[in-house]
């Protein structure tokens, strides 16, 4: 009989969830045959966090599951919890951040700007033994190893998205809304057995983008499927939907890996005339339709192998499978 995953890797494994990450923590614990550690959390009247770990963690490997949609208020609790788990005797503490925030400001574009992706990585490095995430926004920085000293394992959502497209979209044609999205568009198209095209995006401000279309003959008669890593303000998706409609396509299916959905994003997409809007369950949202738990569980297994064999850093993206 095969050994349960936690037994292969040594110390017993538990998953603890910060608020909002309970569902993915339950799924992950199920996939990994790990126990769930309880957490009591609330806010004092002045907004400060109160946390209490409800089960023994001594000698266990702990995975802290998060849903970091709103990272500024959430990050302190994450670090308090990691410190507490160590103080209570956890042998390793791993971060499971299916959505890894603060990845876009990865350079000092203008004098004096904070390079926040570096600061967040330093905070995580100081408290965690490693992290797993799904399709982080790697742009100028190409691997998590360039940012993090602890092992960082990237799970890919492309297989799960491609399977969803195969099952739900007749005659799909994948569109990536900007150059960075080609990594997802190409892989999803390959998995879904269809063609893809790249749009060209120019960002004029936080809430203003322009999209230009490539030649579209190959996509005529197909259902347009837009695939991007993050839907945040949904400006990118909405403008892309509008451009495709103006070119004679209707009802684009919009797929985002991470449903950040701030700033009236839903209304913006509806007004633009989007068809079905779906996302992966890296952040809980009504659009969640694609389960990335299997890829995330594989990434955790890879992290535990890295812990077991002592490899400290430099693990390539998509090395989880
Ligand atoms: C940017 O490079 C990302 O890949 C997304 O296209 C972007 O984060 C989407 O943001 P928004 O929904 O605010 O347009």
Calculate mean pLDDT across residues 9-14.
85
Calculate mean pLDDT across residues 116-127.
97
Q: How far is the CA of 139 from the centre of ligand 1 (A)?
A: 12
Instruction: Note the helical H segments in 53-103.
Output: 71-87
Tens digits of residue pLDDT in 266-303:
999 999 999 999 999 999 999 999 999 999 999 999 99
Nearest to 214 by CA among 187, 184, 243: 243
Q: How confident is the model at residue 246 (pLDDT cuts 50, 70, 90)?
A: very high
pLDDT recorded at residue 9 = 53
Residue 280: CB atoms within 10 Å: 29
Calculate mean pLDDT across residues 71-89.
98
Tens digits of residue pLDDT in 21-58:
999 999 999 999 999 999 999 999 999 999 999 999 99
Dihedral Cα 215, 219, 224, 228, nearest 10 deg: -50
Check pLDDT > 80 for residue 313.
no
Atom of ligand 1 nearest to the CA of 233: 13
Are 246 and 186 in contact by the 8 Å Cβ rule? The answer is no
Whether the CB of 138 sits within 6 Å of ligand 1: no
Check pLDDT > 90 for residue 88.
yes
Whether the CB of 232 sits within 6 Å of ligand 1: yes
Structure-token pair, residue 214: 């490539």
Check pLDDT > 90 for residue 68.
yes
Q: How far is the CA of 82 from the centre of ligand 1 (A)?
A: 30
Task: Quote the CA–CA distance of 270 and 137 in Å, as a whole number.
Answer: 25
Structure-token pair, residue 78: 């994450």
pLDDT recorded at residue 168 = 98
Q: How far is the CA of 305 from the centre of ligand 1 (A)?
A: 33
Calculate mean pLDDT across residues 205-212.
89
Q: How confident is the model at residue 2 (pLDDT cuts 50, 70, 90)?
A: very low
pLDDT recorded at residue 10 = 73
Q: How far is the CA of 230 from the centre of ligand 1 (A)?
A: 5
Q: How confident is the model at residue 140 (pLDDT cuts 50, 70, 90)?
A: confident
Check pLDDT > 80 for residue 316.
no
Which residue's CA is the nearest one to ligand 1's atom 13? 233
Q: How far is the CA of 207 from the centre of ligand 1 (A)?
A: 10
| Integer-rounded Cα radius of gyration of the chain | 20
Whether the CB of 155 sits within 6 Å of ligand 1: no
Check pLDDT > 70 for residue 76.
yes
Q: How far is the CA of 59 from the centre of ligand 1 (A)?
A: 41
Task: Please list, residue by residue across 136-175, b when 16 or more beta carbons sit within 10 angstroms of its beta carbon and e when fewer do.
Answer: bbbeebebbbbbbebbbbbbbbbbbbbebbeeebeebbbb
Whether the CB of 135 sits within 6 Å of ligand 1: no
Q: How confident is the model at residue 4 (pLDDT cuts 50, 70, 90)?
A: very low
Of the ranges 8-17, 30-39, 131-140, 162-171, which one carries the lowest mean pLDDT score? 8-17
Whether the CB of 187 sits within 6 Å of ligand 1: no
Residue located via tokens 């809304």: 177
What distance separates the 2 farthest-apart alpha carbons in the chain?
A: 62
Residue 205: what are its φ and ψ, rounded to 5°?
Answer: 180, 180
pLDDT recorded at residue 311 = 66
Q: How far is the CA of 232 from the centre of ligand 1 (A)?
A: 6
Q: Enumerate residues 6+ apart whose C-beta is below 8 A from 13.
A: 5, 6, 32, 33, 34, 35, 60, 61, 62, 63, 304
pTM of the predicted structure, to 2 decimals? 0.93
Check pLDDT > 70 for residue 1.
no
pLDDT recorded at residue 161 = 98
Tens digits of residue pLDDT in 156-194:
999 999 999 999 999 999 999 998 899 899 999 999 999
pLDDT recorded at residue 206 = 82
Which residue's CA is the nearest one to ligand 1's atom 7? 230
Tens digits of residue pLDDT in 253-262:
999 999 999 9
Q: How far is the CA of 307 from the centre of ligand 1 (A)?
A: 33
Are 239 and 230 in contact by the 8 Å Cβ rule? The answer is no
Which residue's CA is the nearest one to ligand 1's atom 3? 230
Helix axes 116-127, 71-87, angle to 10 degrees: 20
3, 34, 36 from 30: Cα distances, Å: 15, 7, 9
Whether the CB of 178 sits within 6 Å of ligand 1: yes
Which of 157, 229, 234, 236 is the best mutation target for the ligand 1 pocket, counting ligand atoms within 8 Å of the beta carbon and taking the most? 236
Whether the CB of 230 sits within 6 Å of ligand 1: yes
């Amino acid at each position: 009989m095969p050994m349960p995953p936690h037994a292969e890797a040594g110390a017993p494994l538990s998953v603890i969830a910060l608020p909002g990450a309970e569902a993915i923590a339950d799924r992950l614990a199920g996939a990994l045959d790990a126990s769930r550690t309880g957490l009591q959390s609330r806010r004092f009247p002045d907004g400060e966090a109160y946390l209490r770990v409800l089960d023994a963690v001594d000698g266990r490997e702990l995975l802290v599951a998060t849903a970091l949609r709103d990272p500024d208020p959430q990050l302190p609790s994450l670090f308090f919890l990691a410190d507490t788990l160590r103080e209570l005797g956890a042998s390793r503490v791993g971060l499971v951040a299916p959505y890894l925030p603060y990845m876009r400001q990865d350079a000092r574009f203008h004098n004096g700007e904070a390079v926040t992706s570096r600061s967040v990585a330093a905070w995580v490095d100081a408290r965690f033994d490693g992290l797993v995430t799904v399709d982080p926004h790697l742009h100028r920085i190409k691997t998590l190893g360039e940012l993090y000293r602890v092992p960082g394992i990237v799970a890919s959502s492309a297989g799960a998205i491609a399977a969803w497209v195969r099952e739900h979209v007749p005659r799909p044609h994948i569109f990536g809304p900007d150059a960075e999205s080609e990594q997802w568009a190409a892989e999803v198209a390959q998995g879904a057995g269809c063609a893809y095209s790249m749009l060209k995006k120019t960002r004029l401000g936080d809430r203003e983008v322009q999209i230009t279309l490539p030649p579209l003959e190959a996509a005529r008669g197909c259902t347009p499927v837009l695939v991007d890593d993050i839907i945040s303000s949904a400006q990118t998706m909405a403008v892309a939907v509008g451009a495709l409609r103006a070119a004679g396509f209707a009802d684009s299916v919009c797929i985002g890996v991470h449903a950040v959905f701030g700033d009236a994003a839903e209304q913006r997409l509806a007004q633009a005339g989007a068809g079905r809007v779906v996302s992966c369950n890296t952040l809980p949202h009504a659009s969640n339709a694609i389960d990335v738990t299997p890829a995330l569980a594989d990434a955790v297994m890879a992290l535990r192998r890295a812990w077991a064999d002592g490899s400290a850093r430099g693990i390539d993206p998509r090395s989880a499978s």
